[in-house]
Chains A and B, each alone.
Chain A
Amino acid sequence: MDILIQQVVSGLATGGIYASLALALVMIYQATDVVNFAQGELAMFATYICWSLINAGLPYWVAFLSTLAIAFVGGVVIERVVIRPVENAPILSIVMVTLGLLVICNSVAGWIWTYLQKPFPSPFSANPIKVGNVVFGAHDLGEIEVTMLVLLCIYLFFRFTPLGLAMRAAAHNPVSSRLVGIRVGWMLALGWGLAAVFGAVAGMMVAPVLTLEPNLMGGVQIYAFAAATLGGFTSPGGAVLGGFIVGVVENLVGTYVSFIGTELKFTVALAMIIVVLLVRPTGLFGTTVVKRV
């Protein structure tokens, strides 16, 4: 029982990371109908920037916040420069462009910072926290806290600020939004910026666990895909919940189903994605988009 609780908590911790990245994917998908295959690599890049800042002598949380700011600006710039020209192109072109971004980020990171693994500091104490017989990693609990905080902020932002409302409107109905004076193009760019921020949070939280290297986010991204698919690409809340579910399931399956272990982890994610797509393609909380023919 103790092991179960422990595994569930550490599942929730990784689930938080998946949830952040899944939320980033869903935000972009809702606003622009694009699945950003480069989301994970952008997050990896941001994490490297944070690493450089910390190495330059900045305290952790200062580096953390400045990385978020840089990621935001980076996301906005990428939307403006790279994505905007293909906004109305067929899906294939957009997917290609995001794949291009993926390989560029990956190789440029390898170019600048080399492919050697680098240790990444954790802001939380190394001592485990003991409750009764159950031992929790401090980093795990810290991860959950940070993810929750980010989610709370984003919820408040979208629910209670005029800018959040404008962004929701632009994603929901671009034409009418433009008629009431919302600058839809800029709202989409802001969406990319926010998505980059979530990705950066996920990257900086996962890096202490996996150690930093250019392929850091490959596995995380596939789980984020699974999370977003499970929760539904059209539902941010669903994607977050999906992230936590995927994290817990991944951990429990790895612990209790002996033939899977850690070696077939990606296969579990693949199976999840395919099963969800076959049984309920819109995900748990997604809505079917009805198209007029």
Chain B
Amino acid sequence: MSIARLPRVAGLLALLLAACALPLMLSNFRLFQFSQVYIYAIAILGLNMLTGYNGQFSLGHGAFYAIGAYVSAIMMDRWNISYGWTIPVAGVLCLIVGFLFGLPALRLEGLYLALATFSLALAVPQILKYFEHWTGGSQGIVLSKPNAPFGLPLNPDQWLYFVTLSVLVLLFWLGANLLRGRVGRAIVAIRDNHIAAEAMGVNTALYKSLVFGVSAAYTGVAGALSACVIAYVAPDSFNVFLSVTLLIGSVIGGLASISGAVFGALFIQFVPNWAQDISKAAPWAIFGVFLIGFMYLMPFGIAGAIRLLWIRATRSRVQQKERSVVPSQAHTTT
């Protein structure tokens, strides 16, 4: 590990420690909210991979979130399978579905892809209601929260908090490795100039549908976790506004940024809460205003703004050092 990365790693470890300490300080309800934040963060990271890094639109990631949630719920409810197993299954299934949806999406660019995914998001609640035998129709499926294993002294909310936190850490670590390596460069190259990327030997068709699959898998895992944490799934919670919420989170957090996913998740979880005090309609009005405002003022989101501030701060420190060094040298030479 190089020395330059030390502060970053130390900061991440401190954050992780703080996250682990949260259950000692917060009520169950607050913990539940933070579990939601982690779940959103996973989903937004998935969306970021597709839209931010690969430049493919998706206004329909709520659909994969719904698939993940329903796969998990149906497995737990109908087949009595432990929640732990349902999460990877939901991920793999969404990977396949996403990959398959990514194949036709190869032919669609920009706005057309946005249209296709937007209509996917609109269609999902209806499809879920239609397969009533499996999904319980508009009543949804009621689940029970799992207890902590091995006799750990944790209540279900605390235990689920740690489960989501560990899934978050694992998926972010995997995602960071994927995006910072060779594959990640290929993905970004396709976004920036797909013809040039192809000329360099990147298999654009394969990578684009793969990214679609991986992105759907992340979102599906998030959906499965949400089914465990909320212990209830219903078609109307997976409407088009869920997809738009995820997109808002990824834009406000910062597209093409890994840490941005967390900022975006915090935003979409907590801002509506205090906006709700003003009016039932206020959260969405505020979302809309923030969305448009960010597009004008901070197109790289919160993560981009922080990066910019950080660069400015460190650069000025270096310059100050140089300034303080140079005169003294000048002094000695004369």
B residues within 8 A CB of A82?
Answer: 292
- State A219–B123 Cα separation when bound (angstroms): 10
A92-B57, A218-B122, A264-B126 known; A281 vs B107 contact (CB < 8 Å): yes
Question: Is A269 in contact with B119, judged by CB distance below 8 angstroms?
Answer: yes
Q: CB-CB contacts of B108-139 with A at 8 A, as 1s and 0s? A: 10111011101110110011011000000000
**Which positions 83-111 of chain A face chain B at CB distance < 8 Å?**
85-86, 89, 91-93, 95-97, 99-104, 106-108, 110-111
Question: Is A273 in contact with B279, judged by CB distance below 8 angstroms?
Answer: no
Question: Is B104 in contact with A266, judged by CB distance below 8 angstroms?
Answer: no
Count residues on chain B whose CB falls below 8 Å from chain A CBs: 44
Question: Is A104 in contact with B285, judged by CB distance below 8 angstroms?
Answer: yes
Question: Is B118 in contact with A107, judged by CB distance below 8 angstroms?
Answer: no
**Which positions 270-285 of chain A face chain B at CB distance < 8 Å?**
270, 273-274, 277-278, 281
B residues within 8 A CB of A93?
Answer: 295, 299
Partner pick for B292 among A101, A218, A229, CB 8 A cutoff:
A101
* Most chain B beta carbons < 10 A, residue from A35, A96, A111: A96
Question: Is B285 in contact with A266, judged by CB distance below 8 angstroms?
Answer: no
Question: B186 on the interface (CB 8 Å rule)?
Answer: no
Question: Is A92 in contact with B51, judged by CB distance below 8 angstroms?
Answer: yes
A residues within 8 A CB of B281?
Answer: 107-108, 110-111
Partner pick for A100 among B116, B127, B280, B288, CB 8 A cutoff:
B288
Question: Is B291 in contact with A100, judged by CB distance below 8 angstroms?
Answer: yes
B residues within 8 A CB of A110?
Answer: 280-281
B residues within 8 A CB of A127?
Answer: none
- State A110–B241 Cα separation when bound (angstroms): 15
Name the distance in Å between B243's Cβ and chain A's nearest Cβ.
10
Question: Is A218 in contact with B240, judged by CB distance below 8 angstroms?
Answer: yes
Consensus secondary structure, chain B interface? helix
Question: B251 on the interface (CB 8 Å rule)?
Answer: yes
Residues of A within 8 A of B (CB): 29, 35, 37, 82, 85-86, 89, 91-93, 95-97, 99-104, 106-108, 110-111, 115, 218-219, 222, 225-226, 229, 263-267, 269-270, 273-274, 277-278, 281, 293
- State A151–B296 Cα separation when bound (angstroms): 36
Question: Is A104 in contact with B284, judged by CB distance below 8 angstroms?
Answer: yes
Question: B244 on the interface (CB 8 Å rule)?
Answer: yes
A residues within 8 A CB of B130?
Answer: 263-264, 267
- State A265–B299 Cα separation when bound (angstroms): 36
Partner pick for A107 among B51, B107, B248, B282, CB 8 A cutoff:
B282
Q: Which residue of A lies closest to B127 (CB)?
A: A267
Question: B261 on the interface (CB 8 Å rule)?
Answer: no
